[in-house]
Structure 1
Amino acid sequence: MTDKKTLLLVDGSSYLYRAFHAMPDLRAVPGDNGSPATGAIRGMINMMQALRREVRADYAACVFDAPGKTFRDDWYPDYKANRSPMPDDLRSQVEPIHRVVRMLGWPVLTVPEVEADDVIGTLARTAARQGIEVIVSSGDKDLSQLVDEHVTIIDTMNGKKRDVAGVTAEFGVPPNLMIDYQTLVGDSVDNVPGVPKVGPKTAAKWLLEYGSLDALIARAAEVKGQAGENLRQALDWLPQGRRLVTIRTDCELGEHVAGLPALDAIAIGPQQVDALKDFYEQYGFKSLVKSLEAHAVPPELIEENKKRGGPEANGDLFSDPAQAAAEKVSNLAYDTVMTWEAFDAWLAKIEAAELVALDTETTSLDEMRAEIVGLSFSVEPGAAAYIPVAHNYPDAPAQLPRDEVLAKLRPWLENGAKKKLGQHVKYDRHVFANHGIEVQGYAHDTMLQSYVLEVHKPHGLASLAERHLGRSGIDYEDLCGKGAHQISFSQVSIDKAAQYSCEDSDQTLDVHRVLWPKLEADEKLRFVYELEMASSETLYRIERNGVLIDAPTLASQSNELGKRIMALEEEAYALAGQPFNLGSPKQIGEVFFTKLGLPVIKKTPSGAPSTDEEVLEKLAEDFPLPAKILEHRGLSKLKGTYTDKLGLLANPRSGRVHTHYAQAVAVTGRLSSNDPNLQNIPIRTPEGRRVREAFVAPAGRVIASSDYSQIELRIMAHISGDESLLRAFTEGIDVHRATAGEVFGVPVDQVSSEQRRYAKVINFGLIYGMSSFGLARNLGIETKAAASYIERYFARYPGVKVYMDETKALAKEKGYVETVFGRRLYLPEINSPNGPRRGGAERAAINAPMQGTAADLIKLSMVKVQQVLDAEQRGTKMIMQVHDELVFEVPEEEVEWVRTEIPRLMAGVADLKVPLLAEIGFGPNWDKAH
């Protein structure tokens, strides 16, 4: 027991920015973009309530930056010159945030001309000198220089703790060298230069070698290489840089607790319930109003508890019901199951539960190779159990045998009537399958719930718990480390692993209880969520099947590409008149602009002539050397990314590549894939297309590829309802030829190939919101001519123009657009004052419903086809999904069935105003199937 007092200092300025970026674009009047923004206010309330519950302190204050200049601006006029101005929507919420934080019982400190960091530094050092323990809650790494045996920093967003050991581990230097470290590295956010091109590793290395910045400066002549030269050139600046990055701990705070005899003035107080109720009603926080009413406490009870020092004395009864689970953080009931008696008790609990949150801890992030180290379950908020089965560190206690545990769990796991919940359940399905268990009954996935409800936000469990529960947890890297020093989960102590895993299951259940009612209440969003859940199960099957890779074919292609790359280098050297590094922008720039005198197209931010992809493509129109470099880059990327690596990614047991489909990434609903990335194989070049030759079928089988024809144009016809487009697709007319006929005013049967090509670019360009400038550049014509084509297009297809205008207007009003099936696609920049950003959002508003609907259609097809394959017990396997295409491995005896049925099933998954058309091809490999 200790009698030491604790001071909790909250970096309010850090908090409000994080709240602003973590929360959706809430408004006092939902859907009315003209009403006040409230997202940051709501997030700040969540964070302050959670912090109050989780950290007990005798004294506390929330410190904000004061408006206006600070003393550093006088020292250095360019201080923070590059920082973007505070967004208007956040600026309007600052004053209400100050008010509501006070109402929540927190003293609020702002000191004119003194930054929040300096106020925190001064208070922290003054309190520490008086023997008071100090906790600073902030995500700002700059505050690390304050850490010592009395001062600790916590980051509630990710559970990170920066004590002396934590700072040393994170930055490579102890806290007493952090000022020197920050001086060398600089601070780009605050526009404080460091030593040019000296990063964290070099700074830490120098300080550990020389002992301090002063010692380093004294021996600067000894430091070798370009870094040493840069250091010597920065010597005159470094004293000023150190002055700027140093947090002051001796500021005159005036009436703001100068010498801390007035520490009681910054003790946390009770919440102002009546004022909070009025505030919540003003800003539309209905759930918070209900919470206050539901937790209303009789005055006599408050007085009684004040006398006995109960929690009600601090106003802790007044909390948000959406965060009811978070209030139990201090009363968590987490069990570690080490005996069969305890196992049987928990097995009975999960078998009786209506819904169980389930989580696995494993040996690898590679789902095809991961093995179970432990499992956790949660059946009610605040209660969970962890079963360790394969922790193998020295002196690890005896655990229940993994095979026996899984055998006893198998009947429950494989029972589809027993409903289960997880976070990213597709991964856990694979892990159980690695042990021979096919889990049935996954009813919910919190990652996918978030993906459907708030696609523009992060969907990791830590973010979800912070955003929706106000809870933070243990970070994986805090347990296992990171990089080369990361240990396997099996090496983590069981007590820490149990806390981590139980927390995951517990928080998953809590998040589900917040998100599922929102989906359940919206019929369209519920449909999209059910589609995502069904897609997850089908994708698991596709990933598990994998695709056979022909390694010799890849090796041959790599050899050919290597020869061509070497030849291109020689050709480039001849054109340049000298050898040079084709991968060095600096050397390319010297050859292009100094030696050959090529025209400068644009410059980099530092003022040097640019040699980026766009510049090379422009120069390649007139000069051969840039064209050689572009070809060299393309082939080098193809070789390095695909022909050299695909064979290495194959599972050694099956010879198959098992790509990972990321379901909750693209805001349009499209899938992405990695290891390997199947979506980005460059098929516009002959060499790129040949990569697909290595995706092969085994003996007795063939590859089939079925994809939608002109799917986004068909969706445009459906959404816009334009009569001419509808007629073209309904009558089976070549839509590009029909468009050419309309735009160029010629009969369809007299359209030239060149006119059809122009029409195709126009059709697809307008879907993506292409401007007349973009169209002109794409077609190689004058902007005026391109504008004329667009004008004629809209005159012939007026429904398309109406759709585009109405969609942009609706997006500005709601902040999102929808697919045909109700998927919401949020556009945070649609009302941005920044013209280019707003323009980009407007183009996305036009295209997103088509891309998103296409994504929904391919998912509907994928699910339907898999259902039929299962129902008819077919030997055909779905092995890939790429853009609008499904790829199959087909037994030869099922080819005719697949030829007929797969296109029919894909065309029948939705009833649009135009017919859907799917086309299919077959071959010994993926390339030949096209």
Structure 2
Amino acid sequence: MSQTPLVLVDGSSYLYRAFHALPPLTTSTGKPTGAVKGVINMLLSLRRQYPDSPFAVVFDAKGKTFRDELFENYKAHRPPMPDDLRSQVEPLHATIRALGLPLLNIEGVEADDVIGTLARACANGGRDVVISTGDKDMAQLVCPHVTLVNTMTGSVYDVEGVKNKFGVGPELIIDFLALMGDKVDNIPGVPGVGEKTACGLLNGIPGGIEGLYANLDKVAELPIRGAKSLAAKLDEHREAAYMSYQLATIKLDVPMDVDADTLMPGEPHREALIALYKEAEFKNWLDDLLREAKESGEPLPATEADECHGEAHYETVLEQSQFDSWLEKLKAADLFAFDTETTSIDAQQAQLVGVSFAVTPMEAAYVPLAHSYMGVPGQLDMDAVLAALKPLLEDPKKVKVMQHGKYDLNVLTRYGIDLQGIAFDTMLESYVLDSTATRHDMDSLALKYLGHSTIRFEDIAGKGAKQLTFDQIAIEQAGPYAAEDADVTLRLHKVLKEKLDTTPSVLSVLTDIEIPLVPVLARIERNGAFVDKNLLGIQSKELGEKMVALEREAFELAGQEFNLGSPKQLGEILFVKLGLPVISKTASGQPSTAEAVLQELADQDYPLPKVIMQHRSMSKLKSTYTDKLPGQINPLTGRIHTSYHQAVTATGRLSSSDPNLQNIPIRTAEGRRIRQAFVAPKGYKLLAADYSQIELRIMAHLAQDESLLHAFQNDLDIHRATAAEVMGVSLEEVSNEQRRRAKAINFGLIYGMSAFGLAKQIGVGRAEAQAYIDRYFARYPGVLAYMERTRAQAAEQGFVETIFGRRLYLPEINSKNGAMRKAAERTAINAPMQGTAADIIKHAMVKVDDWLTGSKLDAKIILQVHDELVLEVKEDQVDEVKAKLCPLMGSAADLDVPLLVEAGVGLNWDEAH
């Protein structure tokens, strides 16, 4: 009977390679985990390839080995293990053991020696061995029964593979290493003998280094570069060569009570793995484990925060008596979780299919209302159910908790229900607790906070083109899924609210900013914006014509036709044919044609990169906006209804999608023309109100710098005032160019721009840019003090705050990696300004919406982009709305400088901006 191969993994090799080769990965608390994830990924992959094989992961033991006694400088050049790697060793070992995999480390020898001893014993007994390593020393072990695999590169080396790779067979690898040495391990070898020379010597004179040193007189005759002087050099370093041979030789007789039969993996320790994966935040692996446990019926302990355990009780309500019973529970409850099930993720078009609710943890109900497949059982009447629920759902005093309640609010509005009383939203609770720690969808939150793997929509609806809409899903499957949504929402709220209660300032961000904003955003989404479809069609045609012209111009500059969208062809034209300087390279070593590279080349006045950049810009506008926007017009309303997201950006700013209105470029004429397609209906005008220089004003407030405060309090042109201060001239003498440079300094510094970056932006030398920065900080010492204070506070507490108490956690603020730490410091300085600006516009939206809904004015907010609100206003009410709007927005925060709001009016968005 044939035996399965023994699989031996060089854990030490992979640990270092994963750490250095893979992108840094940290948990939300800043713990490095990238090397652990890289090695475990490789181990899981190997286990899938060799599921029935004995298997061992071998690591170097702590302390010195026999090689250190042979040569005191062995591995002396190796730097000490980085702290970010050292902290991952124990978690990796623990995870390997929890996976049930044998782990070996034997004192006094290296992992190579343990692997060599086991491999040779198996090979001598006729058993195949697979050694997984990235270490070339291991090639000496290859024989007809021993193969090397490198899972990071996909390379496989048998005897022929070793010959092809190194130029000598496995039997000469030790001699090969003895001659050329190994810089990594500080094996000296013979100075001046490299890979080619070593191969030439060993292939030219048989017998390895013994044969070589017995025939030094023949070396000069070999067809090797510098052969005539080689014999003397070899003779001079004979002792080093023989010592190097000993150092490079893998020990094959390590005494140990281990053989292949003792290395069969055991069953994974699921509970230990769950704890380790939770700690490391390996969400996908954790989810897989929890799903396996659920399918096998294995009970899992409750998490520390979520005390619920045992089997949940979910009810599908098909009888009136059941519904009446639940209705009484809802009426009696102090708080209940509520959710809708619909036919679409587009809230403006989704049809209601059913509702679910939960009053106590682990108990929930689903009421199907509109499932419509063949053979569907009888369901309660939708109108009657909604009529019974309406008083509860519209009662602002009846406290509800939801997950992404804005969606449900919009859906229910179309069914005549004005949902009120959303006091908590688990998506937003998670978001204000830590905007960067996790995604804030229910599946991710349940995994993180409850240790619970939810039923996925794909589990019951399928995937891809054949995915069912919810009304087509069998009620037997739909019921547990929908009821679980309500139950998990309730349980999540309990955990998240307890965390929020410990930090009142963060809780106030939820209760005073985010929750009041939910109905406001829902209303703005429902309002939508009119878009001129015909104008977009004209713009699309013109952009297409410009792109064709630019393509022709690119062909002329290149001297040939090529595919402008092909990085390979573009790279050949730019860097081979035209000989332009290579700015940076891709991971595969090819010259990069990324946007930043093309921009830098364009800035150096190379014409072809300029044309390519223009072509890319037009192509993006055409594909993202002029071609796409007409298809996003709702056929029922004739308007575009973007979706606003509260829980996406790290700083608290809103984002939008379908379409994304935050990224329409306004510095180009083509970009502004897209805004011209957002029009006011007949008899109305658009009113756009924008905070002026809000982040600089927040900087003045935070930094308490006297000069900045004076400039804003006296309504000075801040960029002109900065130019006067930094360039040593009077306000009246400031030129337009000086003002432009001062503007770049003002905005650049709050985003952490370096002297190098500023120099590029304003077109001066680095020394001159640094001089500007130095003079800026000399004239505005409060700003420098704020930056230094903020960096120190962030390093000490791990987060920064906005004026309103919103926190941004910075797990990399104390990273040993300098680049990551510097990036975190730049974020720390900017986030309080950007986050406060986000809080202010959110406060303003709530104030403006309250005013408009309480007035008899024919005006409504239709868009929010960055620091701007766009309103659609009846023509004869524009002056009245404008007169109230600007001071109302200006009162959204009490700063030590005035909040200036500028408003414009027009028939389209561009005209009003």
Q: Choose from 602, 621, 630 the match for 2:584.
A: 602
Equivalent residues of 1:377, 1:505 under 8 A apart: yes
Closer/same/farther in 2, CA of residues 22 and 610 from structure 1, 3 Å limit: closer
Aligned counterpart, 1:511: 492
Equivalent residues of 1:361, 1:489 under 8 A apart: yes
> After superposition, what is the alpha-carbon deviation per residue over 1:853-888, rounded to whole angstroms, capped at 9, x for unaligned?
100010010011111112223221000100000000
Are positions 1:568 and 2:550 aligned together?
Answer: yes
Q: For 1:749-760, what aligned pairs fall within 5 Å after superposition?
A: 749-760=732-743
TM-superposed CA distance for 1:578, in Å, is 1.9
Mapped partners of 1:418, 1:820: distance in 2: 31
Q: Which moved more, 1:520-529 or 1:665-674?
A: 520-529
Aligned counterpart, 1:367: 347
Aligned counterpart, 2:731: 748
TM-superposed CA distance for 1:564, in Å, is 1.2
Mapped partners of 2:466, 2:711: distance in 1: 61
Aligned counterpart, 1:149: none
Are positions 1:766 and 2:770 aligned together?
Answer: no
Equivalent residues of 2:685, 2:872 under 8 A apart: yes
Equivalent residues of 2:56, 2:104 under 8 A apart: no
Q: Structure 2 length normalisation: TM-score?
A: 0.71
Are positions 1:501 and 2:499 aligned together?
Answer: no
Are positions 1:111 and 2:73 aligned together?
Answer: no
Are positions 1:577 and 2:559 aligned together?
Answer: yes
SS of structure 1 residue aligned to 2:334: coil
Closer/same/farther in 2, CA of residues 578 and 667 from structure 1, 3 Å limit: same
Mapped partners of 2:617, 2:268: distance in 1: 62
TM-superposed CA distance for 1:441, in Å, is 1.1
Closer/same/farther in 2, CA of residues 665 and 319 from structure 1, 3 Å limit: closer
TM-superposed CA distance for 1:67, in Å, is 3.8
Equivalent residues of 1:906, 1:918 under 8 A apart: yes
Aligned counterpart, 2:470: 489
Aligned counterpart, 2:229: none
Aligned counterpart, 2:573: 591
RMSD: 3.5
SS of structure 1 residue aligned to 2:534: helix
The amino acid across from 1:191 in the alignment is T
Aligned counterpart, 1:524: 505
Aligned counterpart, 1:73: none
Aligned counterpart, 1:888: 871
Equivalent residues of 2:672, 2:910 under 8 A apart: yes
Are positions 1:671 and 2:675 aligned together?
Answer: no
Equivalent residues of 1:357, 1:505 under 8 A apart: yes
Equivalent residues of 1:721, 1:799 under 8 A apart: yes
Q: Choose from 413, 416, 422 the match for 2:396.
A: 416
TM-superposed CA distance for 1:638, in Å, is 0.6
Aligned counterpart, 1:734: 717
Mapped partners of 1:740, 1:269: distance in 2: 63
Aligned counterpart, 1:535: 517
**Bigger radius of gyration, 1 or 2?**
2
TM-superposed CA distance for 1:358, in Å, is 0.8
The amino acid across from 2:29 in the alignment is D
Aligned counterpart, 1:794: 777
Aligned counterpart, 1:348: 328
Mapped partners of 1:925, 1:192: distance in 2: 57
Closer/same/farther in 2, CA of residues 268 and 193 from structure 1, 3 Å limit: closer
Are positions 1:850 and 2:830 aligned together?
Answer: no
Q: Choose from 375, 380, 387 the match for 2:367.
A: 387
> After superposition, what is the alpha-carbon deviation per residue over 1:820-865, rounded to whole angstroms, capped at 9, x for unaligned?
1110011122112222211111111111111101000100100111
Are positions 1:191 and 2:153 aligned together?
Answer: yes
Q: For 1:716-735, what aligned pairs fall within 5 Å after superposition?
A: 716-735=699-718
SS of structure 1 residue aligned to 2:401: strand
Q: For 1:223-302, what aligned pairs fall within 5 Å after superposition?
A: 258=262
Q: Choose from 462, 467, 480 the match for 2:443.
A: 462
TM-superposed CA distance for 1:112, in Å, is 1.7
TM-superposed CA distance for 1:91, in Å, is 5.0
Equivalent residues of 2:26, 2:32 under 8 A apart: no
Closer/same/farther in 2, CA of residues 772 and 442 from structure 1, 3 Å limit: same
Closer/same/farther in 2, CA of residues 597 and 93 from structure 1, 3 Å limit: closer
TM-superposed CA distance for 1:890, in Å, is 0.5
Closer/same/farther in 2, CA of residues 722 and 259 from structure 1, 3 Å limit: closer
SS of structure 2 residue aligned to 1:565: helix
TM-superposed CA distance for 1:574, in Å, is 1.9
TM-superposed CA distance for 1:597, in Å, is 2.6
Aligned counterpart, 1:557: 539
Equivalent residues of 2:357, 2:365 under 8 A apart: yes
SS of structure 2 residue aligned to 1:356: strand
The amino acid across from 2:104 in the alignment is P
Q: Choose from 420, 430, 442 the match for 2:410.
A: 430
Equivalent residues of 2:400, 2:424 under 8 A apart: yes
Equivalent residues of 1:24, 1:39 under 8 A apart: no
Equivalent residues of 1:64, 1:108 under 8 A apart: no
Equivalent residues of 1:369, 1:434 under 8 A apart: no
SS of structure 2 residue aligned to 1:449: helix
Aligned counterpart, 2:171: none
SS of structure 2 residue aligned to 1:911: coil
Mapped partners of 2:258, 2:626: distance in 1: 68
SS of structure 1 residue aligned to 2:390: helix
Equivalent residues of 1:429, 1:439 under 8 A apart: yes
Equivalent residues of 1:370, 1:434 under 8 A apart: no
Aligned counterpart, 2:87: 92
Mapped partners of 1:413, 1:902: distance in 2: 32
Mapped partners of 1:883, 1:550: distance in 2: 23
Aligned counterpart, 1:288: none
Mapped partners of 1:269, 1:543: distance in 2: 45
TM-superposed CA distance for 1:616, in Å, is 1.5
TM-superposed CA distance for 1:190, in Å, is 3.1
The amino acid across from 2:87 in the alignment is S
Mapped partners of 2:796, 2:689: distance in 1: 39
Closer/same/farther in 2, CA of residues 316 and 725 from structure 1, 3 Å limit: same
Mapped partners of 1:384, 1:97: distance in 2: 40
- List runs of 5+ in structure 1 lacking aligned partners: 1-12, 27-36, 44-62, 70-84, 116-141, 143-186, 195-251, 271-275, 277-282, 284-314
Mapped partners of 1:87, 1:342: distance in 2: 62
Aligned counterpart, 1:25: 29
Aligned counterpart, 1:480: 461
Equivalent residues of 1:22, 1:467 under 8 A apart: no
Equivalent residues of 1:703, 1:888 under 8 A apart: yes
The amino acid across from 1:508 in the alignment is T
TM-superposed CA distance for 1:66, in Å, is 5.8
Aligned counterpart, 2:421: 441
Mapped partners of 2:99, 2:820: distance in 1: 38
TM-superposed CA distance for 1:100, in Å, is 12
The amino acid across from 2:805 in the alignment is G
SS of structure 2 residue aligned to 1:705: strand
Closer/same/farther in 2, CA of residues 550 and 769 from structure 1, 3 Å limit: same
Closer/same/farther in 2, CA of residues 255 and 873 from structure 1, 3 Å limit: farther
> After superposition, what is the alpha-carbon deviation per residue over 1:335-386, rounded to whole angstroms, capped at 9, x for unaligned?
1101111111111111111111111111111111111222111100110001
Q: Structure 1 length normalisation: TM-score?
A: 0.70
Aligned counterpart, 1:916: 899
The amino acid across from 1:468 in the alignment is Y
- List runs of 5+ in structure 2 lacking aligned partners: 1-13, 38-54, 62-79, 112-131, 133-148, 157-255, 280-297
TM-superposed CA distance for 1:659, in Å, is 0.1
Are positions 1:614 and 2:565 aligned together?
Answer: no
TM-superposed CA distance for 1:254, in Å, is 5.2
Mapped partners of 1:832, 1:348: distance in 2: 55
The amino acid across from 1:393 in the alignment is Y
Q: Matched residues, percent identical?
A: 53
TM-superposed CA distance for 1:633, in Å, is 0.9
> After superposition, what is the alpha-carbon deviation per residue over 1:428-474, rounded to whole angstroms, capped at 9, x for unaligned?
11121232222111111000000000111221112211211121121
SS of structure 1 residue aligned to 2:689: strand
Aligned counterpart, 1:546: 528
> After superposition, what is the alpha-carbon deviation per residue over 1:260-299, rounded to whole angstroms, capped at 9, x for unaligned?
9x99x999999xxxxx9xxxxxx9xxxxxxxxxxxxxxxx
SS of structure 2 residue aligned to 1:695: coil
